[in-house]
Structure 1
Amino acid sequence: MLDDFLNRHGWSDAVREPLAGDASTRRYTRLRKPAARAILMDSDATPVAPFLRVQQHLATIGLTAPRIFAVDEVAGLILLEDLGDDTFAALIQRGGDERALYEAATDLLVSLHRSPAPAWAETYSPAKMAAFLAPAWDHCVAPEDKGGCHRIETVLRDLLDHTWDDSAVLLHRDYHAENLIWLPGRGGDQRVGLLDFQDALAGHPAYDLASLLQDARRDVDPALEDAMIVRFCAATGRDPARFRAAYTLQALQRHTRILGIFAKLAVTRGKPGYLAMMPRVRAHMKRCLSHPIAEPLRAPIEDILLKPAYA
């Protein structure tokens, strides 16, 4: 089926180069011909419709998502524009201008949030965010501590409700330096290429900024994080204190969920590399818990997720 797809769209003679995958079961292959390149995404039976509709929305509002060259929805195959290998993470590792890249990523979120969330985007509401903590309870909590999970969900949901912003925006939901491609030949926000956006939902404007600045995969200097929060608030006219409180809770929910996802990937998918990131995630959680807004969560989370045996 794959070979037939490539043959139908003129890529059967391309050199194939498998690329490193993400946390999903999707597979990516770079296709090279003498005068052209593309990326083949094989969704491994995962529906591709979410990816296609988010891609269309991002392109419609003038942001850079890979162009779609060909699709076979039944087979779960998409032929995509190849945006290259210059992820923000890779560029920074090679000595690139970290602050300039993070400014561009922050400014892109400002632009993204100017457009209303599309009608198809389900809301990542406080109740849904609390329910999405299940992977942490399943994979990171000792059996004798399971009773505390419901309390954390209830308290976090109430705090998220208290800081909720009615102007829900489209969330990328995995907005970090390895999913952003630098395209200096383009202008403005289009210099930032977006990857891995198929899980987009509508939610609080702080969520993607927290994902960017409290990255599970790399360290971001707290001074840079603070500067980008200031930049975002100035550009959007948000009250800094209220925004920082919401940012803290959005980050804490994300880190708690990620802790469970990483543990699950290590155990069920044979990907132990994710375990090496968990100390950083727990460190982020401890920072979040030091904010006054998170005080009601400090003891229960420390008791069941940040024990010395786990931290």
Structure 2
Amino acid sequence: MESRPDRHSEALAAWLLQQLPDSAAVLPLRPLPGDAGQRRYYELAAERRYLAVYSPPHSEPNRTFVAVTQLLAANQLPVPKIYAVDFSRGFMLLQHLGAEPLRATYAERGSEALQRGLALLPALAAIDAAQLAWLPRYDEVRLQDEMALFADWFVSALLALPLSARERELLAALFGQLVESALAQPQGFVHRDFHCRNLMLASGGADAGIGLIDYQDALVGPLNYDLVSLLKDCYWQWPEATVDAAVADYYAAVIAVRQSAPTLAQFRQGFDWIGLQRHIKVLGIFARLALRDGKPQYLQALPLVIHYTLETARRYPALQPFAQWFEQRLMPSIQRQHWYPSAEERR
């Protein structure tokens, strides 16, 4: 039994009929799975080349999405064409890049599939700085605000653990280290959510073209941010050897050729540390999505994010105080959560 269309999809359908007056295939709209934001996506019944979007104008940066689309298209990156936009109502008619994410090919194709995502990163890094002047910076305030979600939503709200003044000082010291590292990295275009669910395969299966989506929060920041987002993906874990090789290849192709380039060892530490910043943020965001936004499915990704967090914190002596605190203070509570696998399940 089909659910009744919501008021936004009905208004969107009426708008689409104005944009496509010669098409009899606008209705019905078929809803597609959503993302972490408030956007809603719809396929047109018999016009698979189109994607209809309702993106609430009060909460979503729609003008930025259009501007970043134009920037990426001008640099020959695979982004959807924009056919029509109504900013006041948050309606968009886009090219449909495909409904299957790159993630769907990982199990069968392994690192061969991963390489398709990695192949886009040099082109993103090559966008000229003059073209990026209007984008916001991944500055200290933004980096700190993101990590603050960890204490507020993951520790306090999800785990129901109060933080003492000393614990907050420990976190402040860690966050300061991670910010300093992030700001010292080679800078450039940052997609900010470059992972296997935001790389879409065109119709035609695993050998089809690949396209970028969900880049409306793009910034200028550390070039290793998108690299770690893909290699330490919250939805898929790659073998350490695969990660090591990909980091070395990216360094040789993108970083080593720059003036005043860091060494590979320095770049690798920066890669790990910006990954820790991202995963600390993600722990807070996924907890908030579950508790505030009614999206409990994001809790299922937390065990892998916790793994990444501890893996990096244990690796570097400067991060040991945080690693020890996380293991002693948080892990007992984490291990009692319904979403965390038992010791037997982790074997």
Q: 1:146 to 1:197 in 2, by over 3 A?
A: farther
Tell whether 2:135 aligns with 1:121: yes
Shift of 1:302: 4.0
Structure 1 counterpart of 2:34: 21
Give secondary structure in 2 for the equivalent of 1:132.
helix
210, 215, 221: which is aligned to 1:203?
A: 221
* Equivalent-residue separation in structure 2 for 1:98 and 1:126 (angstroms): 36
* Equivalent-residue separation in structure 2 for 1:150 and 1:41 (angstroms): 43
Tell whether 2:17 aligns with 1:7: yes
Tell whether 2:184 aligns with 1:174: no
Give secondary structure in 1 for the equivalent of 2:42.
strand
Q: Which amino acid aligns with 1:215?
A: D
CA contact (8 A) 1:181 1:194 kept: yes
CA contact (8 A) 1:127 1:157 kept: no
Flag structure 2 segments of 5+ consecutive residues without an equivalent. Answer: 1-10, 257-261, 336-347
**Stretch of structure 1 that moved more, 221-230 or 293-302:** 293-302
Shift of 1:290: 2.1
Structure 2 counterpart of 1:141: 155
**Stretch of structure 1 that moved more, 236-245 or 6-15:** 6-15
Q: Map 1:1-311; keep pairs closer than 5 Å.
A: 1-10=11-20, 13-14=25-26, 15-33=28-46, 37-45=49-57, 46-93=60-107, 95=108, 97-117=109-129, 118-142=132-156, 143-147=161-165, 148-162=167-181, 164-165=183-184, 167-183=186-202, 191-236=209-254, 237=256, 239-292=263-316, 294-295=319-320, 297-304=322-329, 306-311=330-335
Deviations 1:119-140 (A, max 9, x none): 1211112442122112211112
Higher RCO (CA-CA < 8 Å; seq separation 6+): 1
Aligned residues: 303
Output the aligned Cα RMSD: 2.3
Question: Which structure: larger Rg?
Answer: 2
Q: 1:153 to 1:55 in 2, by over 3 A?
A: farther
Shift of 1:275: 1.1
CA contact (8 A) 1:130 1:154 kept: no
Give secondary structure in 1 for the equivalent of 2:193.
coil
Identity among equivalent positions (%) equals 31
* Equivalent-residue separation in structure 1 for 2:223 and 2:300 (angstroms): 29
CA contact (8 A) 1:266 1:272 kept: yes
CA contact (8 A) 2:178 2:277 kept: no
* Equivalent-residue separation in structure 1 for 2:95 and 2:266 (angstroms): 40
Flag structure 1 segments of 5+ consecutive residues without an equivalent. Answer: none
- TM-score computed with the length of structure 1 as normaliser: 0.89
Shift of 1:162: 4.2
Deviations 1:91-132 (A, max 9, x none): 224x1x221222232221112101135112111124421221
